[in-house]
Amino acid sequence: MIKPAQEWRVIAAESADVGSLLRDYAAPLSGVAAVCQWLGLSTLFGVAGIGFVRTATSAAVSWMLGLLSLWVAAIVIENLAPSFGSRGGTVQALKLVVYASTPLWIVGILTLVPPLGALFIVGVIYAIWLFYLGLTRVLETPRDRVVPYMLTSAVIVFIANFVVRAAARLVAGV
């Protein structure tokens, strides 16, 4: 995270698979953020009647949907790649999505103290920067196509995630 441009080159060359990226990297980091969110909300709102079980259920569903969202984002990015002169399959796209999400999970720890959650924007900005740098190194996107690729991916991923989360809320009631 200190020298992302160099680190993306290492990541691009690493051997990985979808399962290991999600199970060994994304699940634990996003799990810590989800637990912190749950503890923060339980502490803040537990007295107000939202309840321990409801906030725990919400955190668990959010965690699972977050992992699903990473995979969906990777598939979207992979399928858009040829349109933007990029190369790479699902694993390369997932590397990009997962590793660029790291700052979000780190600042997710701040949700232990809900008023500090406003600092989440710092993580968002850094994650966007990491994604920007990673596109040229991991998917070999031409520099002049990085921003259009990012914007197109963001819109499609946002819509896909909105649909998935809305469906989950209907099914799970959280």
Buried b or exposed e, range 108-126, using 16+ CB within 10 angstroms: bbbbbeeeebeeeeebeeb
pLDDT band at 35, cuts 50/70/90?
confident
CA distances from 4 to 42, 113, 129 (A): 35, 29, 9
Which has more confidence, 31 or 53? 31
Count of CB atoms within 10 A of residue 83's CB?
11
The yes-or-no verdict on residue 47 having pLDDT over 50 is no
Judged against a pLDDT cut of 70, whether residue 135 lies above it is answered with: yes
CA distance 129 to 16: 23
Q: What is the mean pLDDT of the chain?
A: 86
C-beta neighbour count of 147 within 10 angstroms:
12
Predicted pLDDT at 88: 86
* For residue 138, pLDDT beyond 60: yes
Is pLDDT of 48 > 60? no
Query: Lowest mean pLDDT: which of 36-50, 71-85, 96-110?
Result: 36-50
Q: The tokens of 33 are what?
A: 């953020």
Q: How far apart are CA 109 and CA 114, in angstroms?
A: 10
Total number of domains in the chain: 1
**Quick check: 16 and 148 in contact, CB under 8 A?**
no
Give the domain range for residue 131.
4-172
Residue 49: what pLDDT? 57
pTM above 0.75, yes or no: yes
Q: Is the pLDDT of residue 86 over 50?
A: yes
Question: Is the pLDDT confidence value at 139 over 90?
Answer: yes
In the prediction, which pLDDT does 66 show? 85
- Alpha carbons 43 and 83: distance in angstroms, whole number: 47
